[in-house]
Amino acid sequence: MSVQYKSIKELKNMLNNRDISHTELIQETFLNIKNNSKLNAFITLNEEESLKKANNLDNIAGSGSLAGIPIAQKDLFCTKDLKTTCGSNMLSNFIPPYSATVIKNLENAGCISVGKTNMDEFAMGSSNETSFYGNVQNPWGENLVPGGSSGGSAAAVAAGIVPAASGTDTGGSIRQPASLCGISGLKPTYGRISRWGMIAFASSLDQAGPMARTAEDCALLLNEMCSHDEKDTTSIDEAIPDFTENLNSSIQGLKIGLVKEFDLSKLDNDVVQIFEESKKHYESLGAEFIEISLPNISLSVPTYYVVAPAECSSNLSRFDGVKFGKRCDNPKDLEELYIKTRSEGFGDEVKRRILIGSYVLSAGFYDAYYKKAQQVRRLIKNDFDSAFKNVDIIMSPTTRGAAFEAGSKGDDPIQMYLEDLFTIPANLAGLPAMSIPNGMVDNKPIGLQLIGNFLDESRLLQAAHNFQISTDWHLKTPSGSKS
């Protein structure tokens, strides 16, 4: 019995009913990885250890709500004794001595980490074209990008290789690839999931989250990924609900906000039409739409591209050829060690953002750029606070369009940055947001974004699940089949 395109819930039933053994499930997962090697979705595989864990589960009753479920881990989560590269030459030989909290949480729940997925270098990119290990291919088209930076994770789920994957979202890096690959992806409230052991890009924005075929699977994963972590000073010490509890509750009377400042007339007609059809579908489920104003939302992209590079330049200063990671050959002195190591270890996009960040943090420009950006960020957060007094969730397209061709935007970084136009605001405000499939443009999937209030992931997942049990966009696959 094939496990390709099966959901977590379906696989759990198959394992419980002994329709398939844990070992058979993991063997088929690695066969699917090899059969889809052209996608370049994985950097490092964990086959021997995965089969060992599966065999143990077959011989000893498994514990944990996700016992035996294969999962792909984005390659910027530290994994003990398994190479962690961040898609960079700088960390091409780095084997961590510990695992990130989110990895431990998932594995304690019984998940089997089958490998580390390809990604934009240090999570900097919107197309998975900046990885030292080469581009990831979108399963929906040979020359299409999967989105980024969690492109490898999205491609692995979309191709049916694994039912779930971990991702991270700094400005849309879970939601944007989820949209372009036709899967569901959730960025939780900032601090909901521990960042300890997650190699930092921009510390005040980065957040881990689940990627899967369905909102229900995302809820199952989120239940296990969340925990308060004393090792992470940004971790929120709040009670963690069962995110599956209210999934099937009616959304009759749900108030959904539509942002007046989002000018959808500039999008392709197909994208606008799909969005309008999604609105009608939510109305048929009992939801009510209310126009809201986020006056400072247009400043989100420039604000992000001051704050994120500033924090990246600080975080990446640790990669100097001294402590760990790559070291250049035969430097004549310490200065040359730094220069050559960073020149050889970092790719162009990472260098670009380090330079921008160093500039905006410099003595002469800190007040004019970084401080001002943080002030504008607060205004954006205040706008959301005001809006959520009148609505329960906010809805928008996830992306400006469907997946684009590899290389089509590489010469214009600004156009690439605008790929995150709809996703960045939620990161600046620290709010939960997710993308779910809601249509097709030229036989390519496109996503719908739902943004929730602080710590209100349950309502987001409920709204997404209600949409999915009454539509079939999340069941469409690149092979044309349905699960």
Asked if 92 is an active-site residue, the reply is no
Tell me the three-class secondary structure of the chain, residue by residue.
CCCCCCCHHHHHHHHHCCCCCHHHHHHHHHHHHHHCHHHCCEEEECHHHHHHHHHHHHHCCCCCCCCCCEEEEECCECECCECCCCCCHHHCCCCCCCCCHHHHHHHHCCCEEEEEECCCHHHCCCCCCCCCCCCCCCCCCCCECCCCCCHHHHHHHHCCCCCEEEEEECCCCCHHHHHHHCCEEEECCCCCCCCCCECCCCCCCCEEEEEECCHHHHHHHHHHHCCCCCCCCCCCCCCCCCCCCCCCCCCCCCEEEEECCCCHHHCCHHHHHHHHHHHHHHHHCCCEEEEECCCCHHHHHHHHHHHHHHHHHHHHHHCCCCCCCCCCCCCCCHHHHHHHHHHHHCCHHHHHHHHHHHHHHCCCCHHHHHHHHHHHHHHHHHHHHHHCCCCCEEEEECCCCCCCECCCCCCCHHHHHHHHCCCHHHHHHCCCEEEEEEEEECCEEEEEEEEECCCCHHHHHHHHHHHHCCCCHHHCCCCCCCC
Reply yes or no on whether 74 is catalytic: yes
> Using CA atoms, how far apart are residues 470 and 175, in angstroms rounded to an integer?
21
The reply to whether 88 belongs to the active site is no
CB contact at 8 A, 436 and 174: no
Give the active site residue among 88, 173, 235, 396.
Answer: 173
88, 99, 149, 153: the active-site residue:
149
Looking at 6, 12, 53, 74, which residue is catalytic? 74
Catalytically active residues, by annotation = 74, 149, 173
